[in-house]
Amino acid sequence: MLDRYDNSPFRAPEPGDLIGLLAVTVLLIGLLLLFGVAFAVMPARR
């Protein structure tokens, strides 16, 4: 049953997968910062 999951990326991450994960985390942090700035600026414009 576990033999099928030996080739799964979750078993042994490769450098490419780590770079992709890093890119996704950077994008998520960037979006969070962008939304934070947007919500901080919106009340000041009213």
Query: What confidence score (pLDDT) does residue 23 get?
Result: 92
What distance in Å separates the CA atoms of residue 1 and residue 23, rounded to the nearest whole number? 33
Tell me the backbone φ, ψ of residue 12, rounded to 5 degrees: -135, 95
**Residue 32 half-sphere exposure, CB side, CA atoms within 13 Å?**
6
10-23 pLDDT tens trace = 566 567 778 888 99
0.85 surpassed by pTM: no
pLDDT band at 1, cuts 50/70/90?
very low
